[in-house]
Amino acid sequence: MNESLTGSSDVKSPLHERGKALLQCVRQFQQKNLKNFIPFYCESQALGWIPLECLSWFQQVPEVFECHEQSISLHPGLQNPDSRTRAVAEVLQEWESLGRIPGWRDEWYRVSSCYTAEPVFFLERAAASLFGITSYGVHLNGIAGDPENKLLWLARRAKDRPQYPGAMDHLVAGGLTAGISADQVMIRECFEEAGIPEQLACKARPSGQVSLFMEYRGRIKRDLLFCYDLILPEDFVPCNKDGEVESFFKKSFSKVEALIAETEEIKLNCNLVMLDFLIRHGQLNPEMPFYTEIVNGLRSMDVQ
């Protein structure tokens, strides 16, 4: 039988190596050792994963957190979202003063068992990774002109950013601030990050979601990212308004694929969104080795 069909040849094609590299990229987003973490609950709702190395911090505030052998939970005396939010916020402000919560943002994230569930409480964004909660965000694929030209606008993050300084990023992306819809955040970030006016931003089309559940720098990172596509006029030039972006540039779909497969230049979670985009727009197709594994790896069933 032909070796190219059986896959028994020791010589791997460049396409095989490219598919393998993309699969390795995708697989990292689901890798974790949960033995290093303890689950976090409120009543019977599973909300996150807290590093065992930080367990003593929670044990020091028993009026807010109940620490059991196999879990940490919010104190049952905190019976509504307001009381939980206030109690946790007081603890976090103390921890921030001790240097335990770097990159304080003064921005609330909702904490819930899934996106459609009512929030259990609200948490300072900078503490999301400490609690291992699911963080929600929006990412916009900015298509430069005619889609047939296969060009994407990308951004270079400012070097003073606390997270991923100088990394390549989506033209527009942002975390889902509590109380604001995904569409509203997308429109807000379009203007702040790329100078896209609301009238144009409203033409962006939601195109699905990707998610990850991984161990990253000693924390659990769980992201659910809502994806949008926006075709931008040929003469559009992005203009950053909030100081978070150093520069903008266009890359071909094939170059974006190569950057994902061959480098670590792109901000971590953007890789998933860009791969999803490349699949939906035919840059990657079923003839790519490991195609089904790559597609399946774009979403974690444990992140809702």
pLDDT level of residue 164 (50, 70, 90 thresholds): very high
| pLDDT for position 290 | 97
Give the pLDDT confidence of 235-293 residue by residue, as tens digits.
Answer: 999 999 999 999 999 999 999 999 999 999 999 999 999 999 999 999 999 999 999 99
| pLDDT for position 11 | 62
d(CA 259, CA 241): 27
* Mean pLDDT for the stretch of residues 176-181: 96
* Structural contact between residues 238 and 250, judged by C-beta atoms closer than 8 angstroms: no
**Amino acid at the residue 133:** I
Give the pLDDT confidence of 184-194 residue by residue, as tens digits.
Answer: 999 999 999 99
pTM passes above 0.85? yes
* Mean pLDDT for the stretch of residues 114-134: 97
At 236, list the tokens. Answer: 């559009």
Q: Look at the domain 36-134 and name its fold.
A: Transcription Regulator spoIIAA (3.30.750)
pLDDT level of residue 12 (50, 70, 90 thresholds): confident
Is a pLDDT exceeding 50 seen at residue 200? yes
Please provide residue 268's backbone torsions phi and psi, each rounded to the nearest 5 degrees: -45, -65
pLDDT level of residue 80 (50, 70, 90 thresholds): very high
Give the pLDDT confidence of 262-278 residue by residue, as tens digits.
Answer: 999 999 999 999 999 99
Helix (H) or strand (E) holding 111: strand 108-111
At 241, list the tokens. Answer: 């308004």
Q: DSSP secondary-structure letter at 119? A: P
In the chain, where does the domain assigned CATH 3.90.79.10 lie? 13-32+135-296
| pLDDT for position 10 | 57
In the chain, where does the domain assigned CATH 3.30.750.160 lie? 36-134
| pLDDT for position 53 | 97
| Nearest CA among 159, 176, 175 for reference residue 167 | 159
| Nearest CA among 166, 164, 135, 107 for reference residue 49 | 135
Q: How many CB atoms lie within 10 A of CB 2?
A: 7
End-to-end Cα spacing for the chain:
45
The distance from CA 252 to its chain's CA centroid, rounded to whole angstroms, is: 23
Domain 13-32+135-296 falls under CATH 3.90.79.10 = yes
Name the 3-class secondary structure at 248. Answer: strand
pLDDT level of residue 8 (50, 70, 90 thresholds): very low
DSSP track, 26-66: HHGGG---GGGEEEEEETTEEEEEEEGGGHHHHHT-TTTEE
pLDDT level of residue 6 (50, 70, 90 thresholds): very low
The distance from CA 268 to its chain's CA centroid, rounded to whole angstroms, is: 8
Q: DSSP secondary-structure letter at 149? A: G
d(CA 230, CA 103): 30
Give the pLDDT confidence of 25-45 residue by residue, as tens digits.
Answer: 999 999 999 999 999 999 999
Name the 3-class secondary structure at 227. Answer: strand
Q: How many CB atoms lie within 10 A of CB 35?
A: 7
